[in-house]
Every structure is written in structure tokens, then in C-alpha cells.
Amino acid sequence: MSDWIYVDNSNVYIEGQRVSAVRQQMALDIYDAIQNRVLDLNYRISFGKLYQFVAGTDRTRTSRAMLFGSRPPQNDEIWNLARRAGFEVITHDRNASNKEKKIDTGIVAALTRDAYRSAQQGDVFTLVAGDGDYVPAIEHLISDGFEVDVVFWGHASRELRKVCSRFIDLDPHLDLLRP
């Protein structure tokens, strides 16, 4: 049995800043933080701690751990930190409007390709993202007999939480994931 892990870096990081903002009483609740774009800009996530939280202590079970994000400036060491933590890093350029593109579709493409080319019965796929755009892919994987867990902050898409095999809420682990 193997674990397959796929992380939307910006999604988990930015939404973690929102959860932290609520905890720091910078916003009334998560919906206030979302609506008013309130972030705790001091909050950071340790790639190593995220990897350990998602994969557990037995890394030999992990067939693949991929982290997706936007290409950083040349002098930024962020992705090297992620690689040292054990992630395979996939980056894409931002579009002309400086918006992140190709991340969700890149995750879905890698996830489904791995499921149908390399995975075996009993393997567990873990998505670290909270966006409802992943629902169709997860529904298909589950209907084909795969287990798909979602690890994300408590305000993940309700539909995503409903269709996955198991939902793991990161909110209680906000401080554990800090560097």
C-alpha cells in the first residue's frame, strides 16, 4: 500500500494565513477574513512539518509527494526548501495579470495519471487543497475504487469535503505546521 500526495502550495499557505488571522483576532471569523481579504502575513508553513503531517513518519510508504506553485523570483529559495523536505516541486509561470494559472489542472492531471498508470488497489491519494474544482476528479477516482483523502483548513469547499473518502481539518494543527 502506497501514499500519493498532491499539494496546492498557494492554496494551503494563503488560506492558512486567513485561519491564523482569525486566531489572532484580526477578523471576526473565516468568512469575514475571506470577504475582507484579511491575512496574517506573519504566518508561515514549514514544508517539512506539512510533509510529515500528511505522510506520517514512515516515508517509505510515499510513492510520490508533489507540491505545485508559481515560479518564484530567481533569488527565492522557497522551492529548494520544499525539495529538501521531500517534495517534488512543479512550478508554472503566472499569467500577464500576475495570476496563478495551471496549478489545479496540473494537480488533477498528475493525480489521475498516477492513479491509472502506477497506483495499486489499496493505495491512498491525499490532496492538500480546498477548492471545489477538484470534486469531479475525486468523484471519478472514488467511483473507480481509489481512496482519496483531503487535508485542508476547515473552510474547504463543502462539496469537496462531502465527496472525499476522509477529510482532515488542519485548523487544530495551525501552530504545529509553523517553522
Stretch among 26-30, 33-37, 94-98, 112-116 having the lowest mean pLDDT: 94-98
Give the three-class secondary structure for 13.
helix
pTM of the shown model: 0.91
Cell numbers that stand for 84 in this block: 529538501
pLDDT, tens digit (0-9, with 9 covering 90-100), for 82-123: 888 888 888 887 777 767 778 999 999 999 999 999 988 889
**In this prediction, what percent of the chain has a pLDDT beyond 90?**
70
**What rounded mean pLDDT belongs to the chain?**
91
Q: Which residue is it, cell 475571506?
A: 34
Domains, in order of start, for the chain: 3-11+45-173 (3.40.50.1010)
pLDDT, tens digit (0-9, with 9 covering 90-100), for 159-168: 999 999 999 9
HSE-CB at 6 with a 13 A cutoff on CA atoms is 25
